[in-house]
Amino acid sequence: MKATFTAETLKKYALIYKAIDKTNRGYIDTDQLMEALASLNVKIDRTTVHGIVQLVDEDMNNRMDMGEFVHFLHICQNADPKDVKTVLFYAADYDYTQTVNKSKLQKILVKLGIKMSEEELQGVIESTADNEDGSLSYEMFIALMDELMQK
């Protein structure tokens, strides 16, 4: 099921984003995010926050625009930051379809520093995809991450 954000939720996220981006630069960096989380008494370490920011940072500029911030919040709402594989699933599922296709998998593998040829990636998808469209469900993605992280 594809996650949807109501207009009210997006408005709320935009207000939070603006409050964190006090200088109105149009982005949030890890320091600003850590300050905001600390003010809310959210106990999460800098390494974890920075890691999630890196996962959602589509343009790899070490900061979050509004869309990346919404993705960050989606991950935080759906995954325990200590559950790395679940965080990776929600990071890979940037279009909120609850599936990970070949393109999404490739992006997350690159961010993890896992090198895989196009042929290897296609083989992985063909052997693990459990949806008719060739994508991975949460369960299959977790199983694949278990396998890849053991190597």
Q: Which domains does the chain have, with CATH numbers?
A: 1-78 (1.10.238.10), 84-151 (1.10.238.10)
Torsion of CA 20, 58, 7, 39, to 10 degrees: -20
- What pLDDT, on a 0 to 100 scale, did the predictor assign at position 3? 63
Beta bridge partners of 64: 28
- What pLDDT, on a 0 to 100 scale, did the predictor assign at position 140? 95
Please tell me the distance from the alpha carbon of residue 10 to that of residue 82, in angstroms, as a whole number: 26
- What pLDDT, on a 0 to 100 scale, did the predictor assign at position 77? 85
What are the residues whose beta carbons fall under 8 Å from the beta carbon of 55, sequence distance 6 or more?
Answer: 75, 87, 88, 91, 108, 111
What are the residues whose beta carbons fall under 8 Å from the beta carbon of 88, sequence distance 6 or more?
Answer: 55, 108, 112, 141, 145
- What pLDDT, on a 0 to 100 scale, did the predictor assign at position 151? 66
3-state SS class at 29: strand
pLDDT tens digits in sequence order for the chain, 151 residues long: 456 678 898 899 999 999 999 889 999 999 999 999 899 888 888 998 888 889 899 888 989 999 999 999 888 888 888 899 999 999 999 888 999 999 999 999 998 888 989 999 999 999 999 988 999 999 999 999 998 888 6
Residue of 145, 32, 48, 26 whose CA lies nearest to 89: 145
Tell me how crowded residue 98 is: count the other CB atoms within 10 A of its CB.
16
Please tell me the distance from the alpha carbon of residue 69 to that of residue 32, in angstroms, as a whole number: 12
- What pLDDT, on a 0 to 100 scale, did the predictor assign at position 44? 85
- What pLDDT, on a 0 to 100 scale, did the predictor assign at position 20? 95
- What pLDDT, on a 0 to 100 scale, did the predictor assign at position 90? 94
